[in-house]
Amino acid sequence: MDQAPETTISQMTYCHGCSKPLHITAVACPQCGSPQRQGRASPPNTQLPPEKSKVTAGILALLLGGIGIHKFYTGAWGWGIVYIVLCLTYIPALVALVEGIRYLTLKQPEFAQKAARMDGPFAFLW
């Protein structure tokens, strides 16, 4: 009889969106649909970063977006510095107004997936 090979612990990883275990070759999580970054398996005993709140990001963008506080909150500190440098032009305030509205209109799972995919100081959450 032919048996399917068993999946070992070394072939498992955790979803970047919902933290459920899945096979290391999975392109997307079957539970939440979150796309996976290949080759970055997180061990089971490591603490996952806390999930970002869309309400917090949206309120920060609306109230303090002109100086880029929402960018620091979402992890895009490079854009946060750009917003601080350009804050006297009021351009960051206008962009932050649009971003704040966008953050608040996204559903929380969609916002969490996009926030989990942000990688680097100049990542853009849209």
pLDDT tens-place string over residues 6-16: 555 567 777 76
Long-range Cβ contact pairs of 19-23 (< 8 A, separation 24 or more): 19/48
| DSSP-derived pairing of the beta strands 21-23 and 12-14 | antiparallel
CB contact at 8 A, 66 and 80: no
pLDDT tens-place string over residues 24-42: 777 778 888 777 765 554 5
**pLDDT band with cut points at 50, 70 and 90 for residue 1:** very low
pLDDT tens-place string over residues 87-96: 999 999 999 9
